[in-house]
Structure 1
């Protein structure tokens, strides 16, 4: 009998018959041990107690999208707002409160309920599908938001779902309007990870042990043939050309949330992807020629940036296909004209007192006409050096300081290698 930490019983089996009429008795696992025992024996702080430091700090998290900014001040409120500067530097703010904390202690009631239920284990931990995995979360309800005209002026309300993520810093993963003026906000936090019931875990995969019945070979004939084929395939592969490869871009659950300081806010959810397996020299050449484009962004809108060509904003849907907006297109003459009035290069001082280029800014105009302004969209692309453990990572975020006038931030270690080639107009070239 196998000893693997998984329970098997002799009477829990099925008889399997192959296409060649070979018969095998296969033992099935009863339960997966380990996590269940840890959860059962857990006597530590409740999830509410684990989250309490976050609420006591009065800290806020931000998610900046193309038009709206979402502000979650933990234990206080959720706000959706858009700032727009007019002439004379007057700032107009359009805002809605998606929920305010009504209880004095937002963590007391759910925790009390959990303590009562933990005695008999009756309380099921709620779960949400996060990137294909059913993930446990701790809910905090907020009500009494801005009245909703579509619901007879009933106040807006939200459920904040806190989920464990060991590398997170309380980022907003998503904001969704699940029904009219009712919202779900998912927050990634490491604080819950000390509670075994809230840790992310994949579905258990246990072995099934099979033994041949009289008259059948030890191993099925087709299985032996398959294993021989696999052995033959264990040889060095030729290098596949980049255009033949499937996309090497991968947005990982553990890497899509990296903080980037933006103005007076901190942009906490931006798209970080691993862009290529090309060599640095190849990648730089292809990027500067516009044949290799950067992709990024999380949430509804994604962004595509092709250097010296265009910036697109797009959404892909299985039913309706791809919706794409041209945010800006490249014109060297227009950029040079723009650079005469705006700083195309930003410098910083080295330790030896010499200057180095820290960031370059490029102007892309003549985008799709904006419904709000009746003018073409335009974007300033800010290319910035950002060191990373992954040399081919890129982080992309977009801001909209004015209606249909955007800033696209592009940060990557790749850019670090070419910034010092920038000429007076901020135009880059392949390093010599």
Structure 2
């Protein structure tokens, strides 16, 4: 029986036997709470408040702190349940129709409308993957969410691939020598490695590494490969120390401006151009004393309640002041940095976004797996340290 057929049969049987919540019920927590997702592009910012509205807007600040907002609602309220079930799609989605948006002058003032397509992604935080205008004043918005992943019909479906089994002739090696050499070279090139003393190989520290990380001898040196999906404790500790010392900085942002955040040092906003070079703005610099003073009037730590009744730190907020002087306010720029955990297999995955609720007063959102391991070390001022 072909493997493709058996895989599809298994998927079909799993879907047929599923008796759990419907996709609408799985997404209900997102619709019930006041939850919004944002996507910042070079000109437009998109705001999806799930089940409520989709807004496209651009803010321009004039002298005297007057803010002009250009905005369009691409859809309001859910007008109906999904039009169709995802049949045979490699990436199945749950569509939600939203209508009654801002009238469209190009279509005889018919209201704008959108289809919000929710797609399963286990590591997502309900972020907006894309916004597209498929026809005039009709939009498709793709949202990645982990909530749908509990439903078998909406999980990722990898294209079935038939395995090819090779057998060596009698007296031949299990694998051709050239193939073994090539595989070793490829493995060494794609995986970062750490030099380890020979005596450490047999110490208790070896238990800290996953069993898939075997020491490999290269010449006279002992190397230890560390896969990107199973980061060793030693690598974690080193990354955390470098982050907390400010030597490992986060970079991110979409559109014209990019952002650089170095913990305990500064937040920079910059743009690089081949012709004019790099334009950089200091958004805020770190002062422990100023932050502690700020934290006495603001929440430096926020918590969420676990099912067992215990509290754990959900986010810490840090104040960075004394940035470059703002033309609109004649005062130094300042930013509140909100540090949150981002679950990911890669320790270098980072999400950074910036909001400007008031002229030259910013909020920088930073989410990274590095932060996950140190949130619970936050003291009363929200200051982080290396976990013991």
Structure 2 vs 1, CA of residues 265 and 148 (structure 1 numbering), >3 Å: closer, same or farther? farther
Structure 2 vs 1, CA of residues 105 and 213 (structure 1 numbering), >3 Å: closer, same or farther? closer
Which TM-score applies when normalising by structure 2? 0.52
Structure 2 vs 1, CA of residues 157 and 46 (structure 1 numbering), >3 Å: closer, same or farther? same
Q: CA deviation at 1:160?
A: 0.5
In 2, Cα distance between equivalents of 1:166 and 1:282: 27
Structure 2 vs 1, CA of residues 271 and 251 (structure 1 numbering), >3 Å: closer, same or farther? farther
Are the counterparts in 1 of residues 314 and 375 from structure 2 also a CA contact under 8 Å? Answer: yes
Structure 2 vs 1, CA of residues 184 and 305 (structure 1 numbering), >3 Å: closer, same or farther? same
Q: CA deviation at 1:379?
A: 1.9
In 2, Cα distance between equivalents of 1:215 and 1:411: 55
In 2, Cα distance between equivalents of 1:176 and 1:96: 14
Q: CA deviation at 1:305?
A: 0.9
Task: Identify which range, 288-297 or 276-285, moves more after superposition.
Answer: 276-285
1:332-387 Cα deviation digits (max 9, x unpaired):
99989989999999999999999999998765456567687687643234568999
Q: CA deviation at 1:406?
A: 0.5
In 1, Cα distance between equivalents of 2:221 and 2:171: 73
In 2, Cα distance between equivalents of 1:137 and 1:260: 44
1:126-183 Cα deviation digits (max 9, x unpaired):
xxxxx99962223333333113567775533322111123566755445455677543
Structure 2 vs 1, CA of residues 48 and 211 (structure 1 numbering), >3 Å: closer, same or farther? same
Are the counterparts in 1 of residues 127 and 145 from structure 2 also a CA contact under 8 Å? Answer: yes
Structure 2 vs 1, CA of residues 274 and 373 (structure 1 numbering), >3 Å: closer, same or farther? farther
Do residues 262 (structure 1) and 200 (structure 2) align?
no
Q: CA deviation at 1:318?
A: 13
Q: Pairwise CA RMSD of aligned residues?
A: 12.5
1:372-431 Cα deviation digits (max 9, x unpaired):
768764323456899999999987654322133202355789789999999999999999
Are the counterparts in 2 of residues 255 and 272 from structure 1 also a CA contact under 8 Å? Answer: no
Q: Which structure has the greater CA radius of gyration?
A: 1
Are the counterparts in 2 of residues 347 and 358 from structure 1 also a CA contact under 8 Å? Answer: yes
In 2, Cα distance between equivalents of 1:137 and 1:204: 20
Among 26, 44, 47, which residue is 1:50 paired with? 26
Are the counterparts in 2 of residues 271 and 395 from structure 1 also a CA contact under 8 Å? Answer: no
In 2, Cα distance between equivalents of 1:64 and 1:270: 35
Are the counterparts in 2 of residues 161 and 185 from structure 1 also a CA contact under 8 Å? Answer: yes
In 1, Cα distance between equivalents of 2:233 and 2:222: 30
Which TM-score applies when normalising by structure 1? 0.48
1:211-266 Cα deviation digits (max 9, x unpaired):
68999999757447658989999999652899999999999999999999999999
In 2, Cα distance between equivalents of 1:317 and 1:252: 44
- Three-state SS of the structure 2 residue aligned to 1:44 is coil
Task: Identify which range, 275-284 or 373-382, moves more after superposition.
Answer: 275-284
Structure 2 vs 1, CA of residues 100 and 369 (structure 1 numbering), >3 Å: closer, same or farther? same
Higher relative contact order (CA 8 A, sep 6+): 1
Unaligned 5+ segments in structure 1 are: 1-8, 19-36, 111-130
Among 22, 31, 40, which residue is 2:16 paired with? 40
In 1, Cα distance between equivalents of 2:76 and 2:9: 61
Unaligned 5+ segments in structure 2 are: none
User: 2:67 — aligned with what?
Assistant: 91
Structure 2 vs 1, CA of residues 72 and 415 (structure 1 numbering), >3 Å: closer, same or farther? closer
Q: CA deviation at 1:208?
A: 1.6
Task: Identify which range, 361-370 or 270-279, moves more after superposition.
Answer: 270-279
- Three-state SS of the structure 2 residue aligned to 1:82 is strand
Task: Identify which range, 143-152 or 39-48, moves more after superposition.
Answer: 39-48
In 2, Cα distance between equivalents of 1:102 and 1:17: 35
- Three-state SS of the structure 1 residue aligned to 2:309 is coil
